Amino acid sequence: MLDYVTSYLHSNVTPGQAGNWLWSLVYILIIFAGVSGIVIVMNWGERKALAHMQVRLGPMRVGPHGLMQPIADAIKLLTKEDIMPSEADKPIFWMAPVWVVMIAFSVFIVVPFGPTHAVTDMNIGILFMLGVSSLGVLGVVMAGWASNSHFPLMGALRSSAQMVSYEIAMGLAVVSAVVMTSFTGLGAYGIGDASASGTLSMIGIVQAQAQQHVWFVFKFFPVGLVAFFIFAVAMIAETNRAPFDLPEAESELVAGFHTEYSGLRWSLFMLGEYAAMVAVSSIAITLWLGGWLRPFPSVHGPAINIPFFWEHPELGVVDFVFSFAPAMVLFVLAFFCFFNAARMPKHPLLKIQTMGLYAFGLVLGGVGLILLAPPVRDRIQDIFWFVFKIACFMYMYIWYRATWPRYRFDQLMKVGWKVLLPLGLGVLLMTGIIGLSPEILAWLKGVV
């Protein structure tokens, strides 16, 4: 038994590939907890960032700067009366939120947080992600249908139409990125020394970017960038976020497909929505932004060696500097905590809150110090960069929501079918032409 547990620690693959069910389970639990943690942070962060962009303060009363607000929200939602409409289709009404959450979380099976930090690596990874994540629309339609009410049905219809039309542009952009893995980079203006072998595996795609010494956003510039842009737009539409949040347009449809839901079921929908946002962001990160790779992954600089602190003969000074990034980010967060605690109004009622904020800053700083220790620092790098990129995407989601007004439905369809779809086809064509340009030139020479 003990051998079974420890045997995986010496292998250099994901637990799924090693066939180790115990460590797979551990990874699943860690990822489930981690994604739920991101959702909780996002709950607070969205309300706070949105409020500041709208010149408000946002939650301030529950904990310092409203830091305990997600907990208060969770308690409120869990203790709320669970209402089911008497005319509702009960089994389907019950299943819809469960389905949404299940789908949103099951795509994380193949998300690579590091070269070995995924539950498993499938050779059809990206196909699996697209396929499973597009099943989420079924939950939305189920909710709209089972509610037996007009607004949810309208919301569900809009949602399905929107998701189906943006899936196509999204797929074309993804195919362009997958095609890029099969070009050595020696196309029109690429660099690198990889052997040409296309792959659909999520880990394989990131490794291809590492071998070709380029993130796919910058490959065949600007083709990769345009593909990434198409995906970025389609991904917002796919997760029903502003400015494409027509399914839950509160000024038109009350709350869209989850109008009739309350309490725990409603919170499951929210959990599913935010988890889906993390999931599609991680697709974009894996395909275009180099997954777990740090910026400039192939620049190492001159080699340095510091005993007991940096003993990597194959890595250079640039790697050394970048290895401080996780700790630095936490130190910056801790500094913000201290700064805000210091400028908190001096009021006897705010004494506990101020102390709490200082304590939170100390916790963040302490975690930063732990991340500075050499063994932790080496192991945390890939996970940190992946999560950091997810955080950037989450911030962009909030930023878009605070800035842009909602599209009209015909405008939404126009953007999807008349702009993104032709653009996606063009990008796919250009990727092929640029990637095969040496062969095409050789063939032309032969003809002429």
Query: Is the distance from CB of 192 to CB of 185 less than 8 angstroms?
Result: yes
- Does 53 sit near other proteins (CB under 8 A)? yes
Q: Least separation, in Å, of the C-beta of 402 and other proteins?
A: 5
Nearer Cβ to other proteins (54/305): 54
Cα–Cα distance for residue pair 22/392, rounded to 1 Å: 32
Q: Least separation, in Å, of the C-beta of 66 and other proteins?
A: 11
Cα separations (Å) of 303 from 66, 315, 379?
46, 6, 20
Contacts (CB under 8 A) with other proteins, residues 178-217: none
Nearer Cβ to other proteins (7/54): 54
Site string for other proteins, 386-415 (x = CB under 8 A): -------------xx-xxx-----------
Give the tokens for residue 293.
């790779």
Nearer Cβ to other proteins (53/369): 53
Burial class of residue 357, CB neighbours in 10 A (0-12, 13-18, 19+):
buried
- Does 349 sit near other proteins (CB under 8 A)? yes
* Among 302, 307, 313, 345, contact with other proteins (rule: CB under 8 A): 345
Listed ranges 32-40, 75-83, 111-119, 347-355: which one lies at the site for other proteins (CB under 8 A) = 347-355
Nearer Cβ to other proteins (53/186): 53
Nearer Cβ to other proteins (302/348): 348
Amino acid at residue number 53 = M
Phi, psi of 310 (to 5 degrees): -150, 95
Q: Least separation, in Å, of the C-beta of 64 and other proteins?
A: 13
Listed ranges 51-59, 81-89, 181-189, 434-442: which one lies at the site for other proteins (CB under 8 A) = 51-59
DSSP letters for 156-222:
HHHHHHHHHHHHHHHHHHHHHHHHHHHS-S-STT------------HHHHHHHHHHTTS-TTTTTTT
Cα separations (Å) of 307 from 312, 323, 368, 420?
10, 16, 21, 53
Query: Is the distance from CB of 25 to CB of 18 less than 8 angstroms?
Result: no
- Does 49 sit near other proteins (CB under 8 A)? yes
Give the CA count within 13 Å in the CB-facing half-sphere of 329. 13
Q: Least separation, in Å, of the C-beta of 252 and other proteins?
A: 22
Nearer Cβ to other proteins (345/446): 345
Task: List CB contacts of 306: < 8 A, sequence separation 6 or more.
Answer: none
Q: Least separation, in Å, of the C-beta of 177 and other proteins?
A: 22
Nearer Cβ to other proteins (379/408): 408
Phi, psi of 307 (to 5 degrees): -55, 135
Q: Least separation, in Å, of the C-beta of 55 and other proteins?
A: 5
* Among 350, 370, 391, 413, contact with other proteins (rule: CB under 8 A): 350
Give the tokens for residue 82.
């669970």
- Does 347 sit near other proteins (CB under 8 A)? yes
Contacts (CB under 8 A) with other proteins, residues 86-125: none
DSSP letters for 104-154:
HHHGGGS--SSSS-SS---TTHHHHHHHHHTTHHHHHHHHHHHTTSHHHHH
Cα–Cα distance for residue pair 318/406, rounded to 1 Å: 43
Q: Least separation, in Å, of the C-beta of 56 and other proteins?
A: 5
Task: List CB contacts of 120: < 8 A, sequence separation 6 or more.
Answer: 14, 15, 16, 17, 24, 109, 110
Site string for other proteins, 300-339 (x = CB under 8 A): ----------------------------------------
- Does 7 sit near other proteins (CB under 8 A)? no
- Does 342 sit near other proteins (CB under 8 A)? no
DSSP-assigned beta bridge partners for residue 316:
303
* Among 13, 40, 41, 60, contact with other proteins (rule: CB under 8 A): 60
- Does 52 sit near other proteins (CB under 8 A)? yes
Give the tokens for residue 163.
């998701």
Binding site for other proteins (CB under 8 A): 49, 52-57, 60, 345, 347, 349-350, 399-400, 402-404
